[in-house]
Amino acid sequence: MPTDAQLLGYLDELLPIAELTQIESQLRGSPELRERLARLSAQRDSGVHAVGDIWRRERLTCLTRAQLGSYLLGAMTDEEIEYAEFHLRDVGCRYCQANLADLRSQQSDTTGQVTKRRAKFFQTSVGRVGRK
């Protein structure tokens, strides 16, 4: 069953398509879940939940800006890079993607070959995911 954060992400269409689809089918099969969603939606509209806060709190796997910066600079271990790419590309986290794009635009003037190569790799990967 999805968490509150996932349901809120669903409402705001913040989730990767695969996850949206999965939650949609769970919603179809579960009146309880639909009720939870309706309640969350009402609470959100009345300002009880700051969606971004909940999202970030429960989304513990997100990368910090410092980590994303290291990723751009290629200053990570292979393991860290693998995780970052999994999170950005396979999980398709839109917060981190947006953060990364932001950092990349800040750094693009001052960085060397490694970063350009990484950035290019990332762009092509995202492009591929986006067309799916």
For residue 96, state whether it binds Zn ion (rule: CB under 5 A): yes
Q: How many CA atoms are closer than 13 Å to the CA of 101, on its beta-carbon side?
A: 9
For residue 62, state whether it binds Zn ion (rule: CB under 5 A): yes
Q: Quote the least distance from Cβ 64 to Zn ion, whole Å.
A: 10
Q: How far is CA 92 from the centre of its chain?
A: 5
CB nearer to Zn ion: pick between 30 and 64? 64
Total residues contacting Zn ion by CB under 5 A comes to 4
Residue nearest Zn ion, Cβ-based: 93
Q: How many CA atoms are closer than 13 Å to the CA of 3, on its beta-carbon side?
A: 10
List residues binding Zn ion (CB under 5 A). Answer: 62, 93, 95-96
